[in-house]
Structure 1
Amino acid sequence: MATMKQVAEKARVSTTTVSHVINNTRVVSEDARERVLAVIQELRYIPSAVARSLKNDRTHTLGMMIPNNSNPYFAEVIQGIEDASFRLGYNIILCNSYDDPKKQAAYIRVLMEKRIDGLILVSSGSDEDLSQLLADEGIPKVLVDREVTGVAADFIEADHVQGGYEATRYLLSLGHRKIACVAGPDTLLPSGGRVTGYIQALEEAGIAFRPDYLIHADFTSQGGYNAFQQLLALNDRPTAIFASNDLMAIGGICAANSAGVSIPKDLSVIGYDDIALASFSNPPLTTIAQPKHAIGQLTAQTLVKRIAEPDAPLRREMLKSSLIIRQSTAAPVQA
């Protein structure tokens, strides 16, 4: 790999001049600039981002921390973030905490050491270590979907209460009265919001909430499979299930098939997120579509603006979700 010294020698200038050309830190004669740029291209010299950041106090790199990259929802949010970041001249370093708050805090320290200009965080749950770390660091940051106790930052989320309400209202409109909910972890804000919407819709319809119809799982297909097995084993089993994400809904449909329960004839299932896989499940999944790409784009735009204007008022944005009707829901055989 070529060095700055080799570029300087071949272009017959000093290393200082090469540095000024790369960083635009001083006027350099047009002749010297052209020679330096020609040699950089010839030798395929790649300037050190860290060295440049020491001069400019900018790396044009954003750090992003997500809980689990095996969830397609996050993949689609990341795509929106990357698209917007690239257009704005920023690169992304992505870290995955695998839902471990300790690993999350360790990775954030690594990102800080890389001199990122800003941080995007989808929290894996909060602990004192994380809250203190983020509170101590003056780095610009945007939280997505999940707030962190004691941390003041821009916050981008979807309206999870509205989504849970709309999913349950749709099942009610089909004539279902025995509606169960497979929720995510009860420690996470999005999960709690969707349950709140579910209970709100039931209460409006005059249907009593049944604790045995609410099961918390872990947002994975296996978690959904296990939760549906539990619900289908009830003596008075539900005629419809609202799963708080598509992965759990798809795992649940597999559990229903294994139990000889026909979807949607015997059991209606509605998911949440509208990941790409949802339209290819068997049957195709009715779901609540989150504006994933829009969330990602808005997150990147908000962070870049925060980097440029660190003292601007904090921004909170809530995006709406929408109902997508496919073939996993129908009226109950006996309303």
Structure 2
Amino acid sequence: MAGIKDVAAAAGVSVATVSRVLNAHPSVSADARARVLAAVESLGYRPNAVARSLRTDQTRTFGLVIPDVLNPYFTELARSVEEAARALGYSVIIGNADERAEVQDHHVRTLLDRRIDGLLVAPTDAGSPLLADAVRGGTPLVFVDRWIPGVDVPVVRSDGRAAVRDLVGHLWSLGHRRIAIIAGPDSTTTGSERVDAFREAMAGYGLPVPDAYIGQGDFRAESGRRATGGFLALPEPPEVVFAADNLMALGALDAVRARGLRVPDDIGLVAFDDIRWFVHTDPPITSIAQPTGALGRAAVRALVEVIEGRRPASVTLPARLIVRRSCGAPPGTDNVADFGG
């Protein structure tokens, strides 16, 4: 592999001149610049990214830590982050926290050791002090989707409260009154916020939310199966189950089918976080869609601003209800989520 000395020899200039050309320094003649660039192309020279990062104190690399790479929502979010970062000349290193705080902290430490320029994180919970320490240490940080209250950094997130109100109104119009929720962990902002939004929306229609109609989940499919099994065993089961996450909704669907029941004939089903699979399930699942692509792009823009020394405002984008047939809605109301954001 050709080195910088080979380029200098081929171009008939000094190593320092090659370095100035590669770093777009203005004090190089047009002739010398042309000869260096021609030599770079003919030799197939690739600058040493590690050496350059030591000189410039920049790696042109972001870290992204997401709670669960198997969750289609976070997979889509990571894709949008990577595309937006690449368009700005950055690479992205992704860490999968597996919904565990200690794994999240492992990835954060590793990324900081790699001298990343900035960090995007959807925290697994609000208990880890490492992220607050990283901010105090000067690491550019932006929270995306989830956040840690009290850590003073920009947050890029979606607000689902209006969509949840729309959902409860839709279920009311279909005649449903007994509605249960499978909640995410209350240690996460999204877990607690979605339950609060559900309670508020139900209260707006004068509908009770008995304790038996609140199932505790962990944003994994198995917890959706378990919570739905508990609902179905009640003397008066709910008419609709609202899963506060897409994987828990799929688990709920499994639990319903395992008992020989059908959606929506025997029980309705709704999910927070729309995913591509929901248009292919039988029946297609009504859901609340977050603008995943827009969230990823906004998070990258915010992080670049922090890196450049500015203080961007937090960004909140609205989620929206997508009505399909999983709650007894008549045919013809299907929609397809806008996965491009």
Cα distance in 2 for partners of 1:186, 1:322 equals 22
Instruction: State the TM-score, normalizing by the size of structure 2.
Output: 0.90
Gaps of 5+ in 1: none
Q: Which residue of 2 aligns with 1:326?
A: 324
Do residues 225 (structure 1) and 225 (structure 2) align? yes
2:326 alignment partner AA: S
Cα distance in 1 for partners of 2:163, 2:124 equals 21
The aligned runs of 1:12-23 (5 Å cut-off) are 12-23=12-23
Give the CA deviation at 1:149. Answer: 4.4
Q: Which residue of 1 aligns with 2:313?
A: 315
- Equivalences, count: 329
1:87 alignment partner AA: A
Once the two structures are overlaid, the 10-residue window that deviates more, 316-325 or 12-21, is 12-21
Cα distance in 1 for partners of 2:154, 2:71 equals 24
- Check the 8 A contact 2:179/2:209 in 1, yes or no: no
2:250 alignment partner AA: I
Cα distance in 1 for partners of 2:98, 2:7 equals 43
Query: What SS does structure 2 have at the residue aligned with 1:209?
Result: coil
- Check the 8 A contact 2:265/2:328 in 1, yes or no: yes
Structure 1 pair 283–50 and aligned structure 2 pair: CA distance change class (3 A): same
Give the CA deviation at 1:242. Answer: 0.6
Cα distance in 2 for partners of 1:328, 1:79 equals 28
Q: Which residue of 1 aligns with 2:246?
A: 246
**CA offset digits 1:268-301 (Å, max 9, x no partner):** 1011111111111121111011111111111111
Cα distance in 1 for partners of 2:244, 2:142 equals 24
Cα distance in 2 for partners of 1:73, 1:154 equals 21
Query: What SS does structure 1 have at the residue aligned with 2:37?
Result: helix
Q: Which runs of 4+ in 1 moved over 4 A?
A: none
Q: Which residue of 1 aligns with 2:54?
A: 54
Q: Which residue of 2 aligns with 1:69?
A: 69
**CA offset digits 1:8-37 (Å, max 9, x no partner):** 233333222221111123522333322221
2:137 alignment partner AA: E
Q: Which residue of 1 aligns with 2:172?
A: 172
Q: Which residue of 1 aligns with 2:105?
A: 105
- Check the 8 A contact 2:180/2:214 in 1, yes or no: yes
Structure 1 pair 202–108 and aligned structure 2 pair: CA distance change class (3 A): same
2:185 alignment partner AA: P
Cα distance in 1 for partners of 2:258, 2:319 equals 31
Instruction: State the TM-score, normalizing by the size of structure 1.
Output: 0.92
Query: What SS does structure 1 have at the residue aligned with 2:209?
Result: coil
Q: CA RMSD in A?
A: 1.8
Give the CA deviation at 1:132. Answer: 4.2
1:44 alignment partner AA: G
Query: What SS does structure 2 have at the residue aligned with 1:288?
Result: strand
- Check the 8 A contact 2:148/2:189 in 1, yes or no: no
- Check the 8 A contact 1:184/1:218 in 2, yes or no: yes
Once the two structures are overlaid, the 10-residue window that deviates more, 79-88 or 270-279, is 79-88
Higher relative contact order (CA 8 A, sep 6+): 1
